[in-house]
Amino acid sequence: MSLFPDRSGTALLVVDVQQGVVADAWERDAVVARIAGLVERARAERVPVVWVQDEDPGRGTPAWEIVDELTPIDEEDRVYKRYGDAFEETGLEETLARLGVDRLVVAGAETDACIRSTIHGAFTRGYDTELVSDAHTAVDKSAWGAPPVAEVVRHTNLYWGFHEGPGRTAGTATAAEVPLR
């Protein structure tokens, strides 16, 4: 239903699943495994996978690299960002237009920063946006007053499951249940 009547494709957007970003993340191994399964499904179903990498930690360092369990292939697009919202000052919109994408399935890190910013950025730009409810994570920020990560994830899933706006859809689904087409 998106705001792009000339497009009808879906892309899997994998956000910031980098060594330094998820090293100490909540349920890291389980979340990365679910993302790996989504990537495998997307490739099998010929759904584009778009990889987003935050420039901090610094490009070219081991911490900046995608985790070992995930391996982007040359044909898959990569977007490099400096801000939480993967659309801000990047070529993501142009990439999605070229791919004919009007719907995003989003997974990755960090739930309370880049994931939240990117799903809102996608939705406000007109994309139907589905958050994979069991395939996003963050590091514990409770020392700074944030709730525990499990609660952050639950709350994000809760409000995104009820998010709405004219002409586009939002929602959540588990990695096992999310449709990629």
- Tell me, what's the pLDDT at 71? 95
The answer to whether residue 181 sits within a structural domain is no
The answer to whether residue 135 sits within a structural domain is yes
- Residue the block writes with tokens 């586009």: 168
- Tell me, what's the pLDDT at 56? 82
- Tell me, what's the pLDDT at 78? 97
The answer to whether residue 64 sits within a structural domain is yes
1, amino acid identity: M
The answer to whether residue 180 sits within a structural domain is no
The answer to whether residue 1 sits within a structural domain is no
- Residue the block writes with tokens 């910031």: 16
What's the whole-model pTM score?
Answer: 0.97
Q: Which domain holds residue 49?
A: 9-173
Q: Tens digits of per-residue pLDDT, 102-140?
A: 999 999 999 999 999 999 999 999 999 999 999 999 999
Q: Tens digits of per-residue pLDDT, 44-95?
A: 999 999 999 999 878 889 999 999 999 999 999 999 999 999 999 999 999 9
DSSP the chain: --S-TT--EEEEEEE--BHHHHTT-TTHHHHHHHHHHHHHHHHHTT--EEEEEES-SPTTSGGGSBPTT----TTSEEEEESSSSTTTTSSHHHHHHHHTEEEEEEEEE-IIIIIHHHHHHHHHTT-EEEEEEEEEE----GGGTPPPHHHHHHHHHHHHHT-EETTEEEEEE-TTT----
What CATH number does the domain containing 86 carry? 3.40.50.850
Number of domains comprising the chain? 1
* Percent of the chain scoring above 70 in pLDDT: 100
The answer to whether residue 179 sits within a structural domain is no
The answer to whether residue 60 sits within a structural domain is yes
